[in-house]
Amino acid sequence: MQTESSTLVARSPQVTEFLSKPRKLLIGGKWVEAKSGKTFKTLDPATGEVLAHVCEADAADIDEAVKAARAAFNGPWSKLTPSQRSRLLWKLADLLEQHTEEFAQLESLDNGKPLAVARIADVPLAVDNFRYMGGWCSKIEGNTIPLSAGNNFLAYTLREPVGVVAQIIPWNFPLLMAVWKLGPALAAGCTVVLKPAEQTPLTALRLGELFAEAGFPDGVVNIVPGFGETAGAALAAHPDVDKVAFTGSTEVGKLIVKAATGNLKKVTLELGGKSPNIVMGDADVEVAIAGAAHAIFFNHGQCCVAGSRLFVHEKLFDQVVEGVAAKAKKIRLGHGMDSGTQMGPLVSDEQLARVTDFLNSGVSEGARAAAGGARHGAQGYFVQPTVLVDVQPHMKVVREEIFGPVVTAHPFKTLDDVHIAANDTIYGLGAGIWTRDLSIAHRLAAKVKAGTVWVNCYNVFDAAMPFGGYKQSGWGREMGHNAIDLYTETKSVCIKL
């Protein structure tokens, strides 16, 4: 890998202004300080620089936010027609699009991702999601049902919003994950208390300002940055929350489920992954090499669907591994705001320690690095893009989610061998298949237990395509009409004529 040394892109005046003031909590349409008076720092992961101070919500603030969301749900929000909700979401999308550069810079600074990626992926996908979900508001329908009891009855169903929703989002795609949650909830008519990750609260807070500008009633969206052990736990367990939607690790997802048992609130979870990426013997080698590198190195490997287990047919194994390793060595590491950067830092010192611990574990168990294998530099939370070979199924680097730019490479002989190995994991979020044979693609896609299977591509997402996981990768689906379904309740009505 290389370190690029070009000039950093200058922060826009809007970003400079936004970072110059302590950022507060959004509760009931007002920006307020935490009741405790506490704040925390959000850092630039490339330098360790303090970007801003953010008010730290705890249980008392969560309670106020839930009350505000309940008041809005029972009041002004419920009085809007579906078409009015649509227009608000479309206006919000327009505002976000108008501020693309500002949001891209905030995302790059707070998360570390390259500014160019935030400009062309994170912000545009968020805009598209709001527009897509805005179209659903007027299309949430019930059905009439013919009863076996005869024609003396009229039976029909109503689709109603779940109510007050707690949403807890991760730090790897801070803006996009917020929008994936907010879009369907608002389209369905719910109100929201959103807790962004403590590592990356900035774009969620800036988005909160756009909600007011778009004209959403006070309390429809409340934003409460804080830590998982305090704010997150209080939100998941709150007795007046009707549903909790969480994206994050499987370990924390299990804690969310336990916290939700108090009032048996609805739960959706988008959790971890250890996704197989399979290169068949007939694949276009150069396309597969580029795709395999993209599958693991995109967003610094901090993707729940990262293609972190690379299975390659034995006749192509050496060629593909050498190709992916060569690409890894050429990736330019640097500050996200550097125009030449292709991969930024990991999000935090905690994440750096986690990933380097995995690398040390792999080497100690007998793995060998064909590329990378260590931390990069002394400043910031950078790790080298890494390809590990000579790996065995029992190794920690193979079994557990690393959440960094680290791929393990495995040769295989037959279709049966690889589908069994691909499914040998507690996860089932994503998978990739590279082949020129359409029959093999369909057969293997049917055998792999994953919520999304990409064929001759990877990391393709769309607001209309449902996303979620099998097994311990989660419950429910994001995006598409499936997401709308999960933010509504079905009520049956039966009338004797």
> What distance in Å separates the CA atoms of residue 405 and residue 303, rounded to the nearest whole number?
9
Which amino acid is located at 248 in the chain? G
Contact present, 159 and 82 (Cβ < 8 Å)? no
Contact present, 276 and 434 (Cβ < 8 Å)? no
Which pair of structure tokens corresponds to residue 221?
């969206």
- SS3 letters for the chain? CEECCCCECCCCHHHHHHHCCCECEEECCEEECCCCCCEEEEECCCCCCEEEEEECECHHHHHHHHHHHHHHHHCHHHHCCHHHHHHHHHHHHHHHHHCHHHHHHHHHHHHCCCHHHHHHHHHHHHHHHHHHHHHHHHHCCCCEECCCCCCCEEEEEEEEECCEEEEECCCCCHHHHHHHHHHHHHHHCCEEEEECCCCCCHHHHHHHHHHHHHCCCCCCEEECCECHHHHHHHHHHCCCCCEEEEECCHHHHHHHHHHHHHCCCEEEEECCCCCEEEECCCCCHHHHHHHHHHHHHHHHHCCCCCCCEEEEECCCHHHHHHHHHHHHHHCEECCCCECCCCECCCCCHHHHHHHHHHHHHHHHCCCEEEECCCECCCCCCCECCEEEECCCCCCHHHHCCCCCCEEEEEEECCHHHHHHHHCCCCEECEEEEECCCHHHHHHHHHHCCCCEEEECCCCCCCCCCCECCEECCEECCECHHHHHHHCEEEEEEEEEC
Phi, psi of 386 (to 5 degrees): -125, 135
Q: Catalytic pick from 102, 190, 304, 478?
A: 304
Annotated catalytic, 304?
A: yes
Annotated catalytic, 350?
A: no
Q: Catalytic pick from 64, 270, 401, 478?
A: 270
CA dihedral 389, 383, 294, 131 (to 10 degrees): 140
**What is the Cα 378 distance to its own chain's centre?**
29
Which of these, 60, 377, 82, 405, lies nearest to 235 by C-alpha position? 60
> What distance in Å separates the CA atoms of residue 433 and residue 423, rounded to the nearest whole number?
13
Catalytic residues: 270, 304
